[in-house]
Amino acid sequence: MIDGEPSRTAMMTALARGLHRLFDDRPWLVDDPFGLLLIGPDWRSAGGAAAAAYDETERARLRAFIVARQKFAEDRLIAGRYPQYVMLGAGLDSFVWRRPDVARHTRIFEIDHPATQNFKRTRADALGLTLPRTHSYTAVDFERETVQQALDRAGFDWSLPAFFTWIGVTMYISRAASRAVFSTVANCAEGSEIVFTYAPSANELDADDRKLRDIFVGIAAAAGESAISEFSQFELAELVAETGLTLAANPTRQDVAQAYFVDRNDGLAPHGMERVAAARTVKRAH
């Protein structure tokens, strides 16, 4: 990230959620009327270099996966009826306003880099968006503080199950940093879960997805967010298991398309340059 500036990839993610409502047919996978508002009046320029680097079909594929990974995560959150919800690298996520029916009964922790979180809070205040008492922000410099320390500071209850989202982050951090986060989740109460995204190894991508990712990696690097980590399927499963979690779901691009994009009138379909997965705490012997 560029010092003192909000994450550009967080902006692009919010832009994709907002454009899903403008450009794509119903049913919307995620109905987010707040994404563009949180970016601000200049939302049309939030796509930056990505808007010029990709053609219309490629932009639609990028948008499709962004909303699909969000739906995948939120469906699992809601189905699990978790008492605590932790957004690691929350960006401009708008769940607390989109789903007040869930937010009012769930302790929600938004954890993010200070510059991104400050930008979001300023925009939310300007829009008059209020928060339930169950919600809290925690700004974290992950170079100086661990996730566990941040959760302790935020008032997280380690005795209760929790649902974590960690979307669009692992490719920008070291494997050691990913291991530390997974280990923290593994120390949570039984039944806790984390939904995260990761970059598959390049040799597991087809030519179209390799092209999409090569372009995106260049754009992200120019914005100060260099991609440094990718995982083969074996490496991911091994890392998750070593940290004390079990891989609960790891859908392929075809699985995601089958789950969310069958029989659409607009032909919307996701890319496969990034994948979404879920890992759960291992059942402990009593």
Q: Is the pLDDT of residue 236 over 90?
A: yes
Q: pLDDT at residue 1 above 60?
A: no
Q: What is the mean pLDDT of the chain?
A: 94
What is the structure's pLDDT at 51? 72
What pLDDT band is residue 283 in, cutting at 50, 70 and 90? Answer: confident
- pLDDT recorded at residue 44: 82
Specify the pLDDT at position 240.
97
Q: What is the pLDDT of residues 106-165, one digit of tens each?
A: 999 999 999 999 999 999 999 999 999 999 999 998 778 899 999 999 999 999 999 999
More confident residue, 143 or 280: 280
Lowest mean pLDDT, pick from 132-136, 253-257, 281-285: 281-285
What are the tens digits of pLDDT across the range 32-66? Answer: 999 999 999 988 887 766 778 899 999 999 999 99
Write the CA distances from 242 to 33, 93, 178, 236, 246, integer angstroms.
40, 30, 12, 10, 9
Average pLDDT over residues 23-32: 97
What does each C-alpha distance from 154 to 165, 180, 182, 217 come to in angstroms? 16, 18, 19, 33
Domains located in the chain, CATH noted: 20-280 (3.40.50.150)
Find residue 275's DSSP bridge partners.
Answer: 198
Q: How far apart are CA 128 and CA 131, in angstroms?
A: 10
Q: Decide which of 2 and 80 is more confident.
A: 80
pLDDT band at 214 (very low <50, low <70, confident <90, very high): very high
pLDDT greater at residue 37 or residue 9: 37
Instruction: Identify the pLDDT of residue 43.
Output: 87
Strand order in the sheet with 275-281: 135-139, 107-112, 84-88, 162-166, 193-198, 275-281, 245-249
Q: Place 99 in a pLDDT band, splitting at 50, 70 and 90.
A: very high
For residue 285, the model assigns a pLDDT of: 59
